């Protein structure tokens, strides 16, 4: 049997998805396998550079995104558009079906690893004799909470009200707090309702899992063994943890002006004193929330570095603004960055001690990689479920909020930051992150997960391709 694979990867059009897909692609290519990484031209151009040794093994396949009414020109990722425009991005993504089929027919891959959105892909791949793996960038706890494919696809009466998403599910056989809080669910309730594509996100998710040959999960059995068992039980097919996939950006050695200015400021701060504030490429606070965050940072009296985005894409009409005089009042103690910032380099800096984050899993993994304490403020998608896991394990502390509308005060922001960063009662959060670091970033363990996964892919290739 030929032990070399050709694997196609087809992530959803969000950088929080594309980056973990690229990390797994690099680990697979490292073993000499060929990767075709499929996305749109602008997204591929914005991905991190590959290490030179992997360039011959990873081919970026650029499929132009079809034009869809209500989707702005050049909008190719979730970060380019306001939240309410994302359904039109899914519609355009569905329009990649024909060009993707033509590529698959001409390139004859062994496997395709795909995301939660292309519910139409598994039957196409099956007809073409290509084996399929649903690769989840969501954790096993998130998948376990969402439930069996039949539930996701609407064939079950288990979950019909918002409240039913705020408690553990009947298929989870152990006590857990992993569930949405009411306000978290209401912010993502559209994922169980029809949008402009006439297909719910939950249906997409369920169909992608149901019709896959196997499932790969960004997880490791030492971190959430009970959840991986739940997922295997409810999916009734092989489930492979592929590790936490910490980001490994290739450093070209070139320092941008942004990083030079950032580093020079961080170098002047006391070790472990700075709180880094960033909410990822998708989460955007409301103006009211932003004002409370800003005033909370002010009241905390700790130094901070804030990556501040005032809109999601150029067509976002709801521009949020910092409170009047905020930057002047915090000058010297705080720095607000209004452009892209190199998150890995910032988190790696010794002066950074804590991270006020939206709980996106890539950001969580990067924080653990550099032993930064976590202050949690969720906004969208799986972030609430991630926060519950971190809370259960004492790895992060969530800012107190109103259960119904999610509102919070500047006082609770300041108090939470100080608790996690400096107070004695928050010491557990600082210590737990250090405990879990080895589990998340150990290279040998990461390679072992990928090797087990690859052994399966090689031995279960379609027979006619051997």
Under a CB-based contact definition with an 8 Å cutoff, are residues 132 and 126 in contact?
A: yes
Q: What is the pLDDT of residue 372?
A: 96
Q: Helix and strand tally (H, E) in the chain?
A: 19, 13
Q: What is the pLDDT of residue 464?
A: 47
* C-alpha–C-alpha distance, residues 239 and 429, integer Å: 31
pLDDT tens-digit map of 97-113: 999 999 999 999 999 99
- Strands in 128-260 per DSSP E: 131-136, 214-217, 239-241
Q: Do the two domains 6-248+442-465 and 257-440 of this chain adopt the same fold?
A: yes
To which residue do tokens 């965050």 refer?
293
Q: Which residues contact 328 (CB under 8 A, 6 or more apart)?
A: none
* C-alpha–C-alpha distance, residues 154 and 176, integer Å: 24
Domain boundaries, the chain: 6-248+442-465, 257-440
Q: What is the pLDDT of residue 253?
A: 59
Under a CB-based contact definition with an 8 Å cutoff, are residues 395 and 464 in contact?
A: no
Mean pLDDT of 348-357: 96
pLDDT tens-digit map of 396-410: 999 999 999 999 999
- Which architecture does CATH list for 6-248+442-465? 3-Layer(aba) Sandwich (3.40)
Is pLDDT above 80 for 80?
yes
* CATH number of this structure's domain 257-440: 3.40.50.2000
* C-alpha–C-alpha distance, residues 466 and 455, integer Å: 14
Q: What is the pLDDT of residue 159?
A: 79
pTM attached to this predicted model: 0.93
Q: What is the pLDDT of residue 466?
A: 47
């Amino acid at each position: 049997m030929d032990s070399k694979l050709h694997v196609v990867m087809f992530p959803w059009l969000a950088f929080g998805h594309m980056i973990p897909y690229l990390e797994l692609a690099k680990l697979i290519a490292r073993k000499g396998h060929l990767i075709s990484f499929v996305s749109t031209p602008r997204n591929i151009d914005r991905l991190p550079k590959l290490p030179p040794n992997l360039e011959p093994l990873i081919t970026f396949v650029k499929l132009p995104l079809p034009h869809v009414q209500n989707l702005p020109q050049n909008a190719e990722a979730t970060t380019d558009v306001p939240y309410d425009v994302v359904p039109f991005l899914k519609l355009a993504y569905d329009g990649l079906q024909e060009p993707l089929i033509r590529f698959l027919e001409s390139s004859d891959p062994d496997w395709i690893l795909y995301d939660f959105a292309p519910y139409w892909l598994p039957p196409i791949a099956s007809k073409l004799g290509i084996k399929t793996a649903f690769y989840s960038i969501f954790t096993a706890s998130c998948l376990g909470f969402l439930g069996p494919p039949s539930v996701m696809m609407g064939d079950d009466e288990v979950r019909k009200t918002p409240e039913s998403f705020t408690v553990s599910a009947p298929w989870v056989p152990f006590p857990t707090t992993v569930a949405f809080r009411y306000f978290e669910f209401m912010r993502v309730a559209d994922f169980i309702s029809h949008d402009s594509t006439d297909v719910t996100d939950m249906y997409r998710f369920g169909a992608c899992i149901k019709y896959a040959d196997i499932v790969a999960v960004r997880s490791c059995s030492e971190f959430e063994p009970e959840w991986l068992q739940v997922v295997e039980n409810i999916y009734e097919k092989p489930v492979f943890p592929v590790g936490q996939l910490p980001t490994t950006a290739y450093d070209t050695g070139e320092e941008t002006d942004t990083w030079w200015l950032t580093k020079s400021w961080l170098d002047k701060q006391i070790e472990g004193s700075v709180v880094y504030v960033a909410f990822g490429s998708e989460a955007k606070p409301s103006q009211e929330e932003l004002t409370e965050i800003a005033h909370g940072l002010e009241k905390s009296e700790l130094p901070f570095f804030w990556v501040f985005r005032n809109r999601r894409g150029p067509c976002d009409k709801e521009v949020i603004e910092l409170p009047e005089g905020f930057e002047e009042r915090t000058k010297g103690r705080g720095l607000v960055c209004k452009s892209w910032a190199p998150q890995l380099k910032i988190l790696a800096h010794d002066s950074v001690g804590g991270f006020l984050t939206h709980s996106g899993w890539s950001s969580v993994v990067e924080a653990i990689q550099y032993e930064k304490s976590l202050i949690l403020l969720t906004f969208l998608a799986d972030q609430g479920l991630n926060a519950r896991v971190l809370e259960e394990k004492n790895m992060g502390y969530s800012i107190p909020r109103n259960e119904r509308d999610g509102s919070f005060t500047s006082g609770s922001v300041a108090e939470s930051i100080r608790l996690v960063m400096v107070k004695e009662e928050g010491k557990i959060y600082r210590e737990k992150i250090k405990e879990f670091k080895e589990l998340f970033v150990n290279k040998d363990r990461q390679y072992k997960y990928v090797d087990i996964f690859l052994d399966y892919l090689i031995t279960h290739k379609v027979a006619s391709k051997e």
